[in-house]
A and B are shown apart, each in its own frame.
Chain A
Amino acid sequence: MTSPPIAVESLCKHFGNVQAVDDVSFSVKKGEILGLLGPNGAGKTTIIHMLLGLVLPTSGSARLFGEEVAFARQKLLGRVNFSSAYVALPSNLTVRENLLVFARMYSVRRPERRIDELLERFEIGQLAHRVSGSLSSGQQARLSLCKSLLNEPEILFLDEPTSGLDPDIADKVRRTLREIQRERGLAMIYTSHNMPEVELMCDRIIFLSRGTIVMEGTTSELLERAQQASLEEVFIKVARDGQIRDVASEPSPSGDQA
Chain B
Amino acid sequence: MHEQIGWKVGGKQGEGIDSTGDIYAIALHRMGYYVFSYRHFMSLIKGGHTNYKIRAANRIVRHHGDTTHVLIAFDQTTVDYNWHEMVDGGVVIYDSTSFTATKPDDANVNLCGVPLTEIAKECGNPIMKNMVAIGVSAAINKFNPDDFIPVVQDKFGKKGQAVVDANMDALRRGYAYFNENFNISFPAPPVPERAEGDDHLYVSGNSSVGFGALAGGCRLLAAYPITPATEIMYWVIEHLPKHGGVVLQAEDEIAAVNMAIGANFTGVRAMTSTSGPGFSLMMEALGLAGMSETPLVIVDVQRSGPSTGLPTKTEQSDLNEAIYGTHGEIQRIVLTPKTVEECFLLTAEAFNLAETYQCPVIVLTDLYMGMSYQSIDKFPVAAVEHRRGKLITEQELKDLGVYEYHRYNPEVKDGISPRSIPGQKNGRYVALGNEHNGIGIEVEDLETRTSQVAKRQRKLANFQHFTGVSVDGDSDAPLALIGFGSTWGVLEEAREELEEQGIKVKHIHFSRVFPFPETEFHAAMESVTQGLVVELNTTGQLTELIHKSAGYHGVLEKCLKYDGDPIGLSEIVSAAKKTFKVGVHS
A-B complex is real: no
